[in-house]
Amino acid sequence: MKIQHTFTLLIIPLIVAPLLLLGWNAYQHLYNSSQIKAFASVNGALDQLAHVFNREILQARANLDLLATDITVIQYALTEDELSRYSIYQRGVLERFRNYQQAFPQYQEIRFLLTDGYEDAYWASEAVNNQSDEEGDNPWFQAMALSDEPYFFTVIYSPDTGSHVIYIFKALHIANQALSEETNQPRLRGYLGLTVSFSPLGKQLHDIAETNNLFITALTLPLSATSITELTPDSATAIVTSKT
Amino acid sequence: MPRILLVLLTILASYTSSLTFAKEQFQHPNTPKKLVLLNWDDYMDPELLQQFEQLHNIQIQQIYFESDDTRNSILAASDGQGYDLAIVNEAMIESYNDRGWLASLPQPRPDNFQHIDPKWVEAYPNTTNNAVALFWGTLGIAYRSDLVSQPFTQWSHFFTPDKSLTKRLGLMNSSREVMGMALKSLGYSINSTNISQLTKAAALLKQQHPFVKSYRYLSLDESSDLLSGEIFASMMYGGDALMLQEFNDNIQYVIPEEGTNIWIDYLVVFSASQKQDMAWQFINFLHEPKRAASLSQYLYTATTNKTAKKHLPEHFLNNRTIYPPKEILKKSEYFNNISPRALNKINTLFLPVFLSHTE
């Protein structure tokens, strides 16, 4: 072997190997750095999504709270005789539902369900084609009925609207003050509920997603009523994450 | 001394307060007592009210409602309190009674109740213990013959009108009346609870929406939209159409060929009223046959008082709007008591049509 060849075989690895090592290190460093940046970006976007989603849910919950304190709604829910409920009180309740729907067009349906799932008072925007007034057999209703939580929500594909919507309900436990103290304990009269359209919310989510190069898709949640009694930004993040 | 003064002061104070009480109770023995009547607008003869006041020293204060449904809302808001009497349609008496709002008829029955034709009592047996039938009539279409291109003869002309009637129709805001007549125009019974038929009737009402100027029952005085020409045709009770005819001869009333609803108006006394005796006295007063005949003529409405008919002139009894011919009555129906959930369905289909309307 000529000395020139020996020299080449020794020198070249000595030069190339450190270069490769350096390159690999640089690559690793850049990769880790961009991954951290990407994660930070996704986390930021998810926080934003969670905030938007959380705000919508909390607003819906506040509106249900307000509606549930309306004397006409209370009187309606307390009236056990169906004929009286429908012939005397229902118009007032539907007028209030209409007013809410006009103020919050994203509420596609506003309704009062009896404890067996019967749609007792129902108001919907024109786009909704109500397929049934019996919700008792639907798994989401059964899950809600089994829950002890005062509020429930789920994201679901609604055949009435032909799109994904948020169902948010408040259980109405009301005491009848007209009865004696022994018998006027608050009792479940039904569920006051909103069907929130994803459209306005969806636009905001879409904008956030586009800015952050995210892909969002709506997945139907496992059919269980999700308590939002203690909805925190963290749990909202978890909810959004589970839907993205 | 101070003790004597105290005793004297106490005696004086009790004397003064007893005087004040006596003053409130007896100072004006002629001050009329008052009954509050929840009534349709223009649905009572003021002269009769005056006679009643002179005879019994009882004033009638009227509070008006514009539809059966608004009366229900008024009563719902006060839980049936604050009123002594009301005019109530047949379909609501059972509900009011179930709420405990109605007083039972007194025993023995006031004398003039014997003049009420039993057929009106039998029409709604559930009303016999709490309500006194006063008038009956029909629901039809009142229209301006000088403003419409052709006369209305059928409900279908009203519910599927031609373009010239855009924003020119008047309806009312009572679920059963409007849905009932829409059902009738489609060839169904006004008492149908068939979901498919109700859905078709609601679809018809939605189609009619652009033609509707108002879902408020028209006023019966000079300010009526039918007189001003704002509205060309409206659902209306026969007697009311005849009242408006007094202002304009071009107003015609028709009971459509498909038939219509025969309604009965009752007077009820509220259980919360502290003046139930006076209230029954007033109803008894209205059913004295000559007065019942006079009131019937004033309102152009058929009386339920069979003895009063003897005091009505021939031309009144022959008026086809007030006493429609038998062939029309045969095609017409009373509103039956339907199941509560069927009523819920009717409300759920009709109220969005009415509540989403903007004039």
Half-sphere exposure of B130 (CA within 13 A, CB side): 23
Domain count along chain A: 1
Q: Is the pLDDT of residue A54 over 60?
A: yes
Whether chain B has a CB inside 8 Å of the CB on A232: the answer is no
Return the closest-CA partner of residue B127 out of B263, B238, B239. Answer: B263
Question: Cα distance from A78 to chain B (closest Cα, Å)?
Answer: 12
Chain B residue numbers with beta carbons less than 8 Å from the beta carbon of A75 are 76
8 A C-beta contact, residue B266 and residue B132: yes
CA dihedral sign, ordered B156, B161, B165, B167: positive
Residue A224 located in a structural domain: no
Q: What is the CATH number of the domain that holds A97?
A: 3.30.450.20
Chain A residue numbers with beta carbons less than 8 Å from the beta carbon of B91 are 87
Q: Which of A81, A82, A87 to mutate to test the interface with B (most CBs of B within 10 A)?
A: A87
Q: Is the pLDDT of residue B314 over 80?
A: yes
Q: What is the pLDDT of residues B65-107, one digit of tens each?
A: 988 888 988 898 888 899 999 999 988 898 899 889 999 999 9
Residue A236 located in a structural domain: no
Residue A17 located in a structural domain: no
Alpha helices (H) in A69-197, listed in sequence order: 71-78, 82-84, 90-103, 139-146
Question: Cα distance from B261 to chain A (closest Cα, Å)?
Answer: 18
Q: What is the pLDDT of residues A165-188, one digit of tens each?
A: 899 999 999 988 776 666 678 899
Greater confidence, B9 or B356?
Answer: B356
Residue A211 located in a structural domain: no
Whether chain B has a CB inside 8 Å of the CB on A116: the answer is no
Residue A40 located in a structural domain: no
- How far apart CA A193 and CA A138 sit, in angstroms, is 15
Domain that includes residue A132, residue range: 48-202
Question: Cα distance from B347 to chain A (closest Cα, Å)?
Answer: 8
pLDDT mean across residues, chain B: 90
Out of B343, B345, B355, name the one closest to residue A87 (CB). B343
Q: What is the pLDDT of residues A68-78, one digit of tens each?
A: 999 999 999 99
Residue A229 located in a structural domain: no
Q: What is the pLDDT of residues B257-307, one digit of tens each?
A: 999 999 999 999 999 999 999 999 999 999 999 999 999 999 999 999 999
Q: Which two three-digit tokens encode residue A241?
A: 């994450």
Q: What is the pLDDT of residues A235-244, one digit of tens each?
A: 444 444 444 3
Per-residue confidence (pLDDT) for residue A74, from 0 to 100: 94
Return the closest-CA partner of residue B342 out of B124, B183, B126. Answer: B183
Q: Which two three-digit tokens encode residue B315?
A: 């031309």
- Concatenating the DSSP letter of every residue in B62-122 gives EEEESSHHHHHHHHHHHTT-S-SEEEEEGGGHHHHHHTT-BPPPPSSPPGGGGGB-HHHHH
pLDDT (average), residues A17-29: 92
Question: Cα distance from A92 to chain B (closest Cα, Å)?
Answer: 7
Q: Which of B65, B176, B348, B349 to mutate to test the interface with A (most CBs of A within 10 A)?
A: B348
Q: What is the pLDDT of residues B5-17, one digit of tens each?
A: 444 444 444 444 4
Per-residue confidence (pLDDT) for residue A217, from 0 to 100: 58
pLDDT (average), residues A149-164: 88
Q: Kindly provide the ipTM of the predicted complex, given to two decimals.
A: 0.77
- How far apart CA A106 and CA B326 sit, in angstroms, is 53
Half-sphere exposure of B330 (CA within 13 A, CB side): 3
Please list the residues that pair with B234 across neighbouring strands: B142, B170
Q: Is the pLDDT of residue B176 over 70?
A: yes
8 A C-beta contact, residue B259 and residue B333: yes
- How far apart CA B188 and CA A73 sit, in angstroms, is 34
Residue A188 located in a structural domain: yes
Q: Which residues are CB-neighbours of B32 under 8 A, at least 6 positions away?
A: B53, B57, B58, B59
Chain B residue numbers with beta carbons less than 8 Å from the beta carbon of A179 are none
Q: Which two three-digit tokens encode residue B37?
A: 């009547």
- A88/B344 CB distance under 8 A: no
Whether chain B has a CB inside 8 Å of the CB on A92: the answer is yes
Residue A71 located in a structural domain: yes
pLDDT band at A1 (very low <50, low <70, confident <90, very high): low
- B344/A120 CB distance under 8 A: yes
Whether chain B has a CB inside 8 Å of the CB on A195: the answer is no
8 A C-beta contact, residue B168 and residue B149: no
Q: Is the pLDDT of residue A218 over 70?
A: no
- How far apart CA A156 and CA A168 sit, in angstroms, is 11
Out of A81, A85, A91, name the one closest to residue B73 (CB). A91
- How far apart CA B204 and CA A128 sit, in angstroms, is 18
- B76/A126 CB distance under 8 A: no
